[in-house]
């Protein structure tokens, strides 16, 4: 399966200009839209939290899901997390 890379940016203030941003590098199938990345991670977190052997502390955010959930659950949703910790994302005027 051919895959494409996408950077999921943590933009809590909804402003990209002149801001330091953190994000995660993810990989999805080439034919899928990159806009589905957050939805897939939310689905993975839901599956993780509702599993019979779910942890005492359920994941509540995308950041927690990426750090705590195993790669197997992400693979089932056709998303591969390449960085568990956020990386610095910079904006450019192109």
- Give residue limits of the domains in the chain: 3-89
> What radius of gyration, in Å, describes the C-alpha atoms of the chain?
14
Q: How would residue 72 be classed by pLDDT, with cut points 50, 70 and 90?
A: very high
pLDDT digits (tens, 9 = 90+) for 38-63: 899 999 999 999 988 777 788 998 88
When pLDDT is averaged across residues 18-34 and rounded to a whole number, the result is: 83
C-alpha 34/C-alpha 25 separation (Å) is: 12
């Amino acid at each position: 399966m051919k895959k494409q890379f996408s950077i999921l940016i943590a933009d809590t203030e909804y402003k990209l200009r002149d801001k330091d941003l953190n994000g995660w590098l993810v990989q999805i199938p080439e034919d899928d839209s990159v806009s589905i990345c957050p939805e897939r991670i939310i689905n993975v977190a839901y599956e993780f939290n509702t599993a019979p052997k779910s942890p005492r502390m359920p994941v509540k955010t995308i950041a927690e899901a990426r750090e705590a959930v195993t790669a197997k659950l992400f693979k089932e949703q056709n998303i591969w997390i390449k960085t568990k910790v956020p990386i610095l994302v910079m904006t450019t005027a192109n």
